[in-house]
Structure 1
Amino acid sequence: MGMMESNSDTNGACGALDAMWHYASMMAYIPHMHAWWLWLFSLLPIEAPIQGLTEYVERQIMPYRIKAAEFGDDASLKGGNNFLAKLLLMEKEGKVTSRETQQAIGLNIGAGSHTTANALSPILYYLYTNPRTLQCLRNELDICAKVDPLSFQQSQSMLYLQAVIKEALRLHPGGGTQLTRVVPKVGLVIEGQFFPEGTEVGVNAWVLYHKKSIFGVDASEVGPERWLETG
């Protein structure tokens, strides 16, 4: 995509994703306003926050559509082993619409970009700002790494590696908003407060994961060992 070479957002993908997630994080709290905002944006000479991502996705899909049209059959799609090729084949078979194809690809790009970066970035940051933790992980790798690269199954058995991952995601959780749940018919009592049926309740992961009553007085410090302790 050329971003690393030019040190810039070459095709507008990063800007489109940032705008989309900023908008989505707000609409998550007021979903009933989403349709109203889209209507308002359609009246104003400005681009809706999600429009940039929509246009970017369509620009990526179009070359594949053109290629498939040039062949005039499904050969170019059936031979493809990527997600888009399979969707376009389903589209030609009438199993999905072009809009559904666009939405599926958009979700993959949106969900697959920030989530990966939000996981890898804190893991590397906390490792390289905590030499002791980094050395402990290297020691485990030296003992357990019989082959290079490690398989996913092998990494699952590396207890310290798993603890490092959990600790980094605890200190820097990917979601900054509440993942709300709806109170059932019988109602719910939380911390002595009764919430009636239909109430949306949730907790911010950043607050929960830094709570000293749960993770100890050193809750704000890096300590993968907390995930290895028993009792």
Structure 2
Amino acid sequence: MSLMSMTRHRPLAQCYAFDVIGNITYSERFGVLDAGEDTHGILAALDHTLLYGTMVGLYAKFHPLIYRLAQYIPGSGASARGFLMNLVRARMQKRSKERTEKPKVSDAEQRGTDKPQDFVDKISEASEKNPQNVTPYHVFMMGFGNVVAGSDTTGTSLSAVLFYLTSSPRCLQALRAEIENCQDDSGNKPPTFEHLQKLPYLQAVIKESLCMHPATGLQMWRTVPKGGAEIQGVFFPENSVVGLNSWTAHYDEKVFDKPHEFRPERWLPNVGYSAERLKAMESYYIPVSTWSPVLNSSRFCLILIVGMGSRTCIGRHISTLEMIKLIPQMEFDFELQETSSSMRARNHWFVKPDNLKMRVRLRSHT
């Protein structure tokens, strides 16, 4: 099973994440996981768009000119963005037609059905109730944003978890024992998400994997507000641009003991660390973040510039849910075996593993 590949056969971890986001956004999967490949060129378009955004984003003032020219060049990031926008328009039009044709039901009736509302339903209802604040543009950008941002980080993070697990037999065995000894009140195995999210070692494995391989690989830039800001003893004038790389924070040996070793136990209770070190570890843990135009105050701790509080990734709960559900299911259904001894990666804003492979064998539950 290939987790990451640059061939037409796409990373199954990203295929899974992409179909999940398609389902919760449009109530319909894109079907890339079923095929195990990029059947419509969607994931390739995402790669090109990400590369374009990474490079042009460094010189944003040139973006309007570059985009007007590059959108007509096949295979460019600009043309890939146009391809994705057309794809989203088609999906949104299809969902709009379905919403128009289906009988109107109240929110209470909708919640009483077996089928949950998708993103399009929710934001379309908000637009119908308050069209001035939730415009058609907002509806479209929600559908577009989910497609663009909904699979890369989860696929990358999931691949990191599986790589570090299969590279550490001790940790894999500890997780396997925790999962096998866990069942919900009905005796289901693997248990429900409600029970899985309470497994301490599973949570520690995910956290440690994202600490060693955060999905974002470039600085999270912030603009210093009026009056300037003092950051860890250094004064920066207003309008200065400052940023911190997640990898730099996670591999700081003053904060993380032996940061290059995969040690999920560091996140478990009663590990023996002082309260100060545990607090520092939590503060420096910034695996997935979002952009922000300004700092929030004139005096601000550097670590809080990135991905903390209101600046954290708004989709992190969906990504966490996907990983918590899939990893125990894979361990329950398959025997995971290492084939990749090292992980190569490409840093195009997201640090995506490249050509990461692993071998699995179907378990027998007789």
Q: TM-score range by the shorter chain?
A: 0.7 to 0.9
CA RMSD across the alignment = 2.9
* Native 8 Å contact 2:208 2:264 kept in 1: yes
Superposed, which structure 2 residues align to 1:1-231 within 5 Å?
Answer: 1-41=30-70, 44=72, 48=78, 49-68=80-99, 71=101, 75=103, 81-90=117-126, 95=131, 96-146=134-184, 147-148=187-188, 149-184=190-225, 185-190=227-232, 193-216=234-257, 218-228=258-268, 229=271, 230-231=273-274
> Quick check: 138-147 or 49-58, which moved more?
138-147
> Offset at 1:188?
1.9
* Native 8 Å contact 2:228 2:239 kept in 1: no
Q: Using a 3 Å threshold, how does the CA distance of structure 1 residues 94 and 195 change in structure 2: closer, same or farther?
A: closer
> Offset at 1:111?
1.9
How far apart are the structure 1 equivalents of 2:224 and 2:55?
Answer: 21
> Offset at 1:31?
3.5
TM-score under structure 1 normalisation? 0.80
Which whole-Å deviations, capped at 9, do the CAs of 1:57-85 have from their partners, x for residues lacking one?
A: 1122232334456x4xx736876822223
How far apart are the structure 1 equivalents of 2:183 and 2:99?
Answer: 44
Task: Find the counterpart in structure 1 of residue 278 from structure 2.
Answer: none
Q: Using a 3 Å threshold, how does the CA distance of structure 1 residues 181 and 155 change in structure 2: closer, same or farther?
A: farther
Which whole-Å deviations, capped at 9, do the CAs of 1:112-155 have from their partners, x for residues lacking one?
A: 11122122111111111211001111222234434434344433
* SS of 1:9 mapped into structure 2: coil
* Native 8 Å contact 1:88 1:101 kept in 2: yes
List gaps (5 residues or longer) in structure 2.
1-29, 111-115, 275-366
* SS of 2:235 mapped into structure 1: strand
> Offset at 1:5?
4.5
* Native 8 Å contact 1:77 1:88 kept in 2: no
* Native 8 Å contact 1:77 1:86 kept in 2: no
How far apart are the structure 1 equivalents of 2:121 and 2:105?
Answer: 5
> Offset at 1:165?
0.9
* Native 8 Å contact 2:205 2:264 kept in 1: yes
Structure with the higher fraction of residues in helix conformation:
1
List gaps (5 residues or longer) in structure 1.
none
> Offset at 1:22?
1.9
Which whole-Å deviations, capped at 9, do the CAs of 1:187-224 have from their partners, x for residues lacking one?
A: 2244x6432222121121122212333223x3212111
Q: Using a 3 Å threshold, how does the CA distance of structure 1 residues 92 and 163 change in structure 2: closer, same or farther?
A: closer
* Native 8 Å contact 2:251 2:259 kept in 1: yes
Which whole-Å deviations, capped at 9, do the CAs of 1:31-56 have from their partners, x for residues lacking one?
A: 433333334446x5556242121111
* SS of 1:50 mapped into structure 2: helix
* Native 8 Å contact 2:228 2:236 kept in 1: no
Larger Rg: 1
Q: Using a 3 Å threshold, how does the CA distance of structure 1 residues 29 and 188 change in structure 2: closer, same or farther?
A: farther
Higher RCO (CA 8 Å, separation ≥ 6 residues): 2
How far apart are the structure 2 equivalents of 1:165 and 1:8?
Answer: 26
How far apart are the structure 1 equivalents of 2:228 and 2:137?
Answer: 40
